[in-house]
Amino acid sequence: MQAWVRLWRKMGIRSVRQAWGLAPDEGSWALVGLSRAGPDLVRVHTSTLLRPPSADIDEALWLSAALQDAHRGMGRGRHPLAMAVTVADSVSGTLTCPVEWSEETWPAEVQLEVAKALNLPTDEVNFDFQLDVGDSGPIPRLRWVGCPKTLINDYQHWTSEAGWHLSSLEPVWGAAERAARALVGGLPSLLRQAPQDWQFRLHPRLEPHALTPEEAFDGRQDAQLQEALASAAGPRLVAAGLALKAWT
């Protein structure tokens, strides 16, 4: 998803040995940290659930405080944190590209679609897109996702206040697909292991029962991935996929 990568490169993503992902989990948030375990391997070193102290407390307030507490036990410096954008905070869709459109025009056209969906000016949205690899027709079709820039600015502010460096922000399903492709043992191993035992390949080979790249991009329709996301381990899988982005 090159558009999103370009937009976030300015946030200072750099070579790291550790990274963390934060994903929603039914009112709580799953925090998973990955560390380098070899030239092509990372492993889980942190897996915890951040729960609100009460149901009616402001989410940004309690989550920022919980992240600040978590940061205290991880040493000095601003650690890279990738966060998920929930369905409620984003819009998505598809865009069919007429043959007269060049690839250079795609970002601008997607930006217009996102702006219309959010009812915002084009310069007030952030977006990502990818060519639909499952569509073999002669006319390209793009899958896109977007959110208001104000959301990103808010996330940047309160994660920074908690001592973290917000390195990326992306939809839940994108992070889940990345983790599913990279998980050693493939998705069937997900429920046979505790999250603390998960390992991920930085340059995934096709594990037995793993998703092919084509299946992975359309993972929302994939039964195995849907089952994994519906399980108790689902949010932690998403958080691991978010952290993996630090090495991509």
What's the CATH number where 139 sits? Answer: 3.30.1490
Mean pLDDT to the nearest integer, 76-88: 83
227 shares a domain with 195: yes
* Residue 58 in this model has a pLDDT that exceeds 60: yes
DSSP tally for the chain: helices H, then strands E: 8, 9
DSSP type of residue 92: E
> Do 7 and 28 belong to one domain?
yes
What contacts 222, CB < 8 A, 6 or more positions away? 211, 215, 216
The pLDDT > 70 percentage for the chain reads 83
Residue 14 shares a structural domain with residue 45: yes
Least confident of 5-19, 77-91, 154-168: 5-19
Q: What residue type is 121 in one-letter code? A: P
Q: Left, alpha or beta for 130 (phi > 0: left; psi -120 to 50: alpha)?
A: beta
Beta strand pairing call for 41-50 and 91-96: unpaired
| Domain of residue 194, CATH code | 3.30.420
230 and 164 fall within a common domain:
yes
Number of domains making up the chain:
2
Tokens standing for residue 107: 């970002």
Burial environment of residue 97 by CB neighbours within 10 A (0 to 12, 13 to 18, 19 or more):
middle
Residue, of 114 and 12, whose pLDDT is higher: 114
Same domain, 53 and 162: yes
pLDDT in tens, 128-164: 888 876 655 678 889 888 999 998 888 888 888 889 9
Element (H, E) at 168: strand 164-171
For 12-70, strand residue ranges (E) read: 18-25, 28-38, 41-50
Round to whole Å and give the CA distance between 169 and 173.
Answer: 12
When the pLDDT of each residue in the chain is averaged and rounded to a whole number, the result is 82
Q: Are residues 187 and 74 in the same domain?
A: yes
Beta strand segments in 97-163, E: 125-131, 141-148
The answer to whether residues 96 and 36 touch, using CB atoms and an 8 Å cutoff, is: no
How many angstroms separate the CA atoms of 92 and 114, rounded? Answer: 8
Q: Torsion angle of alpha carbons 109, 126, 86, 73, nearest 10°?
A: 150
Residue 57: its pLDDT value, please? 83
Domain span at 134: 88-150
Q: Please tell me the distance from the alpha carbon of residue 123 to that of residue 118, in angstroms, as a whole number.
A: 12
- Are 114 and 217 found together in one domain? no
pLDDT of 178-237, one tens digit each? Answer: 999 899 988 888 878 888 999 999 887 644 444 444 444 444 447 888 888 888 899 999
State whether 12 and 59 are in the same domain: yes
